[in-house]
Structure 1
Amino acid sequence: MKKLVFTLALVVGSWTVQAQQLPLISNYLNTAHLFNPAFSGLDGKTEITVLNRRQWTDIQGAPETQFMAFNGNREDLKFGYSGYAFNDVTDIVSRAGFYGSYAWHVKFTDQNSLSLGLGAGYVNNTINVGGIRVQDDLDPVLFSALNRAKFDLNFGFNLKFGDFSFGAAVPNILAPKVDFSDNYVISPFQYQYMRHYVVNTQYDVNLQKGLMTLSPFVTVRANEVTIPQVDAGLMFNHKEYFFIGAAYRSSYAVTANTGVHLTENITMGYAYDFSLNTYGFALGNSHEFMLRYSFGESKKDKRLENEL
């Protein structure tokens, strides 16, 4: 039993200290509302997105993440809303839950605006103790999983000045503590969610009267324990046909993104991460697939056409 408790504590402890506790995705420019609630409904579209990511494919128990997200807005574009369900599994540790967000978009001029967003979520944290190898495989604790659910909040804002935007978000505002102590575990163990900070900047260079966009961007993720991670990249989007981009993720990987607009409403995307860290050759690379369906024309684009 002591050996089991030690193993669980080691797994949870190392996962807490070394991981960012937030699902890592590479298609976040296409799903910005997943990490910043202020982006809810910001682009004037109503859409559903499905995303699947497999990280470090050469090792067993590597992270796997799935998302199903909805994003929309009111007709006047002053308010947006979004929601998503997710499942994130790393070896015997997993998290599954859902978040809902609401955003307020304040337009100062035709080119300048401020967006404020608040999200709330319910996350179930699970340790599959049956996946731990021990000498006594008849130990009763191995026949069940440990589950603990927690409520949390996210907040974010985004400022837009012409073609330049700057935003920040604070996931895990409440930083809840998850306690896995129960009747089977003699020595209590727990881990603490960490408050995160995500800062994003982007500049859109519009080409061919907005038909194509070239967007350099920088995103910084930080928390109270780990070293900040910086993403710097460039994305090119042809609104009718395809998008392609690349980014450098500090001390981790180089990411290549590409996708096609199959129809006016359906977009399919793929991202590939080339690992750059010391153990990258052994861990393997990462694959991410995205499928998005948009309902009708963008309300923002339609309103601009009417004004012209």
Structure 2
Amino acid sequence: MKKNSIKRIIIIIGIILSSRALSFGQQSIQFSQYIFNSLSVNPAYAGYKEELFAQMALRAQWTGIDGAPKTGQVSIDGLTNHDTKTMGLGLQITADKLGPQSANSIYFNYAYRIRLDAADAQRLCFGIAAGLTAYGLDGAVLDPISSGDQSLPSGMITSYIPDARFGIYYYNPKWYLGASVMDLISGDASNSIFRWDAGTVQNLKRKRSLYVIAGTLFNFSEQVKLRPSLLWKEDFKGPSSLDLNAMFIFNNRFWLGGGYRTGVNLWDKEYRKGQTLSNSNSVSGIIQFYANDRLRIGYSYDYIISGLSSVQNGTHEITLGLTFPSKTNRILSPRFF
């Protein structure tokens, strides 16, 4: 049954990878510490920890630049049935600010978790999420040289856009693999975020994005483990992005490692014609420790190695995670993913 299960997983994820959607807009929000809570990139992750888990993340990107991105997110997820552990629910609330733009969203996540073996050491999870985002754009902040520019809004405008996400997530004690499609509705060509000028052909839109996550765990001893992982982000129009991470785990309580973010050229894209763009983005240092059995604290610093390196002071990110153990729930193995 194990070989057949793995084969089904590969086929399903292959179908997702082959569905390329065309759209326009900016890349989705990203966190360097997604490795501690993959619900931010895949709704099928809901309930993975098999305990009620809450997290807060604060990210200040490219500090030193006026109007640089600032993002905050709170989430909570857990199981609805601790006997069979087949259903997970999650809630995410995110606030994002970039210069004159803002995006405040709420998503409800649902995961159906299929047990694949008698020991319940591996599961295949399917997840969906539905949400609403309030997009804001303040034309006054743009401060044009000439007043009355018809291509800019005259003041603050707001648009409410519904959205959906879909994901698949497989895990066992040694490795995991997942794929998700974000912004399923907002990426539609007919669904502009803003349309302040009826004569404007191109208006702001979100992109449909594909996220692929994978990782494994190496046990060097009872006290030391290594957890490498990757995140590939693809919107099929702009640059492909690849995050490579590795974390050492000491005594199951102290995590220390880092990451490298870069662009990858898997095929020729329209935006690259006539361009000589650098693929390098950033390197990061990441630390996480458990203050006690319930509370964990994480911090990461991204050092920019792109052309922005001389005009900003790096990116700071702080996360807090709080677990609410259930007296009736018995976890078969520690949750490292």
Relative to structure 1, the CA distance from residue 290 to residue 298 in structure 2 (aligned partners, 3 Å threshold; closer, same or farther) is farther
Q: Which residue pairs with 1:88 in the alignment?
A: 96
Residue 204 (str. 1) matches residue 217 (str. 2): yes
Equivalent residue, structure 2, for 1:68: 74
Q: Give the aligned partner of residue 214 of structure 1.
A: 226
Match of 1:97 in 2: 105
Q: CA separation of 1:168/1:90 partners in 2, compared to 1, >3 Å: closer, same or farther? A: same
The answer on whether the counterparts of 1:44 and 1:299 sit within 8 Å (CA) in structure 2 is no
Whole-angstrom CA distance in 1 between matches of 2:253 and 2:331 = 22
- After superposition, give the CA deviation of every residue in 1:184-213 in whole Å (9 maximum; x if it has no partner): x5744622221100111111124555x654
Contact 1:215/1:236, CA 8 A, preserved across alignment? yes
In 2: Cα distance, 1:69 partner to 1:230 partner: 24
Q: Given the alignment of the two structures, is residue 228 of structure 1 paired with residue 240 of structure 2, yes or no?
A: yes
1:178/1:239 CA distance change after superposition, 3 Å: farther
SS at 1:119's partner residue? strand
CA contact (8 A) 1:116 1:156 kept: yes
> Is 1:149 paired with 2:160?
yes
Q: Residue deviations 1:217-259, cap 9 Å, x none? A: 1111000211211111211234653211211111210111102
Structure-2 change in CA distance of 1:179 and 1:286 (3 Å): closer
Quote the Cα distance in structure 2 between the aligned partners of 1:104 and 1:298. 23
Could you tell me whether the CA contact under 8 Å between 1:148 and 1:178 is conserved in 2?
A: no
Q: What letter is aligned with 2:64?
A: D
CA contact (8 A) 2:192 2:205 kept: yes
> Aligned partners of 2:54, 2:193: CA distance in 1, in Å?
34
Counterpart of 2:14 in structure 1 is none
TM-score by length of 1: 0.84
Distance 1:71 1:207, change over 3 A: farther
**2:140 aligned counterpart, secondary structure:** helix
| Other-structure match for 1:117 | 127
Q: State the alpha-carbon separation in 2 of the partners of residues 242 and 265 from structure 1.
A: 14
The Cα shift of 1:144 comes to 3.9
Query: 1:63, CA displacement in angstroms?
Result: 0.4
Look up the equivalent residue of 2:244 and give its one-letter code.
A
The alpha-carbon deviation at position 30 of structure 1 amounts to: 0.9
Q: Where is the strand percentage greater, Structure 1 or Structure 2?
A: 1
C-alpha RMSD of matched pairs (Å): 2.4
Change in CA separation of 1:103 and 1:238 when aligned onto 2, cut-off 3 Å: farther
Query: What is the deviation of 1:260?
Result: 1.8
Structure 1 regions of 5+ residues with no counterpart?
Answer: 1-15
In structure 2, C-alpha distance between the alignment counterparts of 1:279 and 1:298, rounded to whole Å: 50
Look up the match of 1:166. Answer: 177
User: The residue matched to 1:221 in structure 2 has which SS?
Assistant: strand
* Matched residue SS, 1:292: strand
Note if 1:262 corresponds to 2:291.
Answer: yes
In 2, the alpha carbon distance for the partners of 1:28 and 1:238 equals: 20
Contact 2:161 / 2:193 at 8 angstroms: preserved in 1?
Answer: no
- Residue 12 of structure 1 corresponds to none
Question: Quick one: structure 1 residues 239 and 170, their matched pair in 2 at CA, closer, same or farther if it must change by over 3 Å?
Answer: farther
Matches within 5 A, 1:184-195: 185=197, 187-188=199-200, 190-195=203-208
Amino acid at match of 2:96: D
1:46 lines up with 2:52 in the alignment: yes
AA aligned to 1:304 is L
| Alignment length (residue pairs) | 283
Gaps of at least 5 residues in structure 2 are 1-23, 263-279
Aligned to 2:138: 128
- Distance across 2 between alignment mates of 1:195 and 1:298: 41
Matched, 1:57 2:63: yes
Question: Who is 1:295 aligned against?
Answer: 324
Residues 95, 103 of structure 2: 8 Å contact kept: yes
Distance 2:146 2:215 in 1: 55
Q: Post-superposition shift, 1:180?
A: 2.7
Percent identity of paired positions between Structure 1 and Structure 2: 21
Specify the alignment match of 2:87 in structure 1.
79
Q: Secondary structure at the match of 1:190?
A: coil
- Quote the Cα distance in structure 2 between the aligned partners of 1:148 and 1:162: 43
